[in-house]
Amino acid sequence: MTRIRTLIDRDHLPALDRSLAITRPGAGMGDDHPPPRILLLYGSLRERSFSRLATEEAARLLMLFGAEVRIFDPSDLPLPDQVAGDDHPAVHELRQHALWSEGMVWCSPERHGQITGIMKAQIDHLPLEFGGMRPTQGRTLAAASPFRMVRRPRHQSRLRASRLGTLRRNFERHDDLVRSAA
């Protein structure tokens, strides 16, 4: 049983004007074969999960830009230390995909200012060392939260204490600076 989600409409990007998109942005900068390998993780198991939908949209864009993507489905992933020695097929598969990847995209909703438990479980199952190698070392990471669509008052944003919230605020400040300069 594979835990990789398949995208139904791989090319469905209705809001994208393809005439403005550079489909191979790295062309001319060196050999682009094999394509970059990106593992995408999401942090909600709801049937209509916005973090999963945002992850699938990111996967479509990454494929358009020439990347090979895999979206891991965490639905049967046990909690850390729930299974002795992490001897569970889902844990083994997650680790294999982490070793396969050259970059990762993590997308999680926020619960009480933190990433969700299912997202944390996925991160915790990535060992610090695996066969003499760190599965996350030297890889590019993009962290996202699907709930940035709703603008919050600044005083509420300052109350966020999570790393994801801090990262998001830094991007908001940059975005505000760019808008005020324009």
Domain boundaries, the chain: 32-150
Token couple for 21? 């998109």
Distance CA 134, CA 129 (A): 4
- What's the pLDDT band for 147 if we cut at 50, 70, 90? low
- What's the pLDDT band for 29 if we cut at 50, 70, 90? confident
Query: What is the 3-state secondary structure of 115-145?
Result: ECHHHHHHHHHCCCCECCECCCCCCEEEEEC
Q: Residue 32: which of 42, 23, 41 has the closest Cα?
A: 23
- For the domain covering 32-150, report its CATH number: 3.40.50.360
- What's the pLDDT band for 32 if we cut at 50, 70, 90? low
Q: How many Å is the Cα radius of gyration of the chain?
A: 18
Q: What is the pTM of this model?
A: 0.74
pLDDT tens digits, residue range 95-134?
999 989 999 999 998 888 788 999 999 998 987 776 666 7
> Nearest 5°: phi and psi at 101?
-75, 155
The DSSP 8-state label assigned to residue 30 in this structure reads S
pLDDT tens digits, residue range 13-28?
888 888 888 777 777 7
Q: Is 18 helix (H, G, I), strand (E, B) or coil?
A: coil
Distance CA 73, CA 52 (A): 9
